[in-house]
């Protein structure tokens, strides 16, 4: 990876290293990024073939994206959304919970000094109690 950038502001992260093709998704085209680019909340960063990048936020969280990866990082809410590919996260234990969303599943990491804790919620197949009751009623009426 090449290049190093300075500190970030309170609402964003900053690209601190890039290797090969790295861009951000736009409405019509992707814009190639350089070291020191400020990553705004919700902005999706994309790496290409053999592309790698590193983002750092003001709370000392570091997010590294591997090749052919798409991800966004909201440093204010400490939330990472992985669209595709691979990532590595290094987050300080004093920064509070870190949320990672992958394919409709949300993982909340609760780091502490002794043992990291992870909670998970799956948003893909949630049934409300009313839909469960309707399914039960349909099953009984078909008997």
25-54: per-residue pLDDT in tens?
865 667 888 898 888 887 899 999 999 999
Q: What is the four-CA torsion angle of 90, 34, 19, 42, rounded to 10 degrees?
A: 40
Two tokens, residue 91: 């987050």
Q: In percent, how much of the chain has pLDDT > 90?
A: 28
Q: Euclidean distance between the first and final Cα of the chain, in Å? A: 65
Residue 39 lies in a domain: yes
Count of the separate structural domains present in the chain: 1
pLDDT in tens, 89-116: 888 877 778 889 998 888 888 766 555 5
**Residue 135 predicted with pLDDT over 50:** no
Kindly state the tokens that stand for 25: 């998704």
Query: Do 68 and 51 touch, CB atoms closer than 8 A?
Result: yes
CA distance 54 to 117: 25
Answer yes or no: is 45 within a domain: yes
Return phi, psi of residue 86, to 5°: -130, 150
Residue 89: count other Cβ atoms within 10 Å of its Cβ.
16
> To the nearest whole percent, how much of the chain has pLDDT over 70?
66
Q: Is residue 7 part of a domain?
A: no
Q: Is residue 6 part of a domain?
A: no
Per-residue pLDDT at 17 exceeds 80: yes
Structural domain containing residue 129: 13-138
Rounded to two decimals, what is the model's pTM?
0.70
The reply to whether 44 falls in a domain is yes
4 domain residue, yes or no: no
Write the CATH number for 18. Answer: 2.60.120
């Amino acid at each position: 990876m090449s290049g190093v950038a300075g500190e970030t502001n309170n609402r964003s992260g900053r690209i601190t290293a890039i290797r090969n093709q790295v861009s951000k998704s736009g409405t019509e085209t992707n814009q190639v990024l350089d070291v020191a680019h400020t990553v705004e909340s919700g902005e999706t960063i994309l790496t290409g073939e053999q592309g790698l990048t590193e983002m750092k936020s003001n709370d000392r969280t570091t997010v590294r994206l591997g090749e052919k990866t798409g991800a966004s990082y909201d440093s204010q809410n400490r939330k990472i959304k992985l669209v595709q590919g691979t990532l590595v996260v290094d987050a300080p234990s004093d920064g509070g919970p870190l949320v990672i969303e992958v394919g409709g599943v949300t993982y909340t990491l609760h780091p502490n000094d002794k043992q990291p804790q992870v909670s998970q919620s799956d948003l893909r197949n949630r049934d409300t109690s009313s839909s469960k009751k309707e399914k039960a009623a349909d099953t009984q009426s078909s008997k």
